[in-house]
Structure 1
Amino acid sequence: MNSRFAPTIANAEPRERAYKMFDGDGLHLFVRPNGSKLWRLNYSWLGKRKNAVTWTVAGPRSRGCEREAR
């Protein structure tokens, strides 16, 4: 995870509509209106774009999980 991005994750506030905060390499934080935060990974498989809900926000281990998912 980008170290400059970590404080931004902690301060991400829910909005009226869900939104994404991109970290790079297809990884982004999805913030829902109810305040829940999920990491998602965009990837391609057999020429089709996919989006995997990978894990909830649990700290700096997220980037390592993204590498494992690849």
Structure 2
Amino acid sequence: MDGQPVAVSHRRFPAPGLSRLLHTRDRTCRFPGCRKPARFCDLNHVRPYTDGGPTTAGNLLALCRRHHRAKHDGG
């Protein structure tokens, strides 16, 4: 290994291991004040996948369905 990151396949949905990591990291919906447990939340791309946003821990966060929809509906 030369210190370069391992290439990751382009996928829209996180692999199971990444999902577990994110649910553990976030613990609850990341919307301020929302306490919905992360394990019941959607994993949302901060930079949209359709705009080239990677499916990585640095570009994903847990949002409950209500706040996920609000983000995409502009609310």
> What TM-score do the two structures reach when normalised by structure 1?
0.29
Higher-Rg structure is 2
Report 1 or 2 for greater relative contact order, CA contacts < 8 Å, sequence distance ≥ 6: 2
- Give the TM-score normalised by the residue count of structure 2: 0.28
